[in-house]
Amino acid sequence: MKLRDVLDHDRLLLVACHDCHGKTPLDPAGFALRVGVHTDIADLLHDMTCPVCGATDITLGSHSPLDARRPATTLTPDAR
């Protein structure tokens, strides 16, 4: 997957750490400006560390906070 794909689908990069088990979303725009939109996100792994603990044992993927949202449930008045 390229940075262009992540940007086109309004997604965030997701850094998942295997040491501290933290999951941190990152804005892909800064990476695209620095390395170009045609860069594969797997190529970013060599220079990245976990933003929480600094470990290098990480997985990089994409995440959409909008897809994770569930529709709000409607509240019904109490039947008394």
Question: How many residues are listed for the chain in this entry?
Answer: 80
What is the structure's pLDDT at 4? 96
The owner of tokens 């997985």 is: 59
What is the structure's pLDDT at 66? 80
What is the structure's pLDDT at 67? 76
Q: How do residues 50-77 score in pLDDT, each as one tens digit?
A: 999 999 999 999 988 887 665 655 555 5
CA atoms within 13 A on the CB side of 65: 8
The arithmetic mean of pLDDT across residues 12-23, rounded, is 95
Q: How do residues 18-49 score in pLDDT, each as one tens digit?
A: 999 999 999 999 999 999 999 999 999 988 99
Return d(Cα 48, Cα 57) in angstroms, integer: 9
Q: Is 32 exposed, middle or buried (0-12, 13-18, 19+ CB in 10 A)?
A: middle
What is the structure's pLDDT at 32? 94
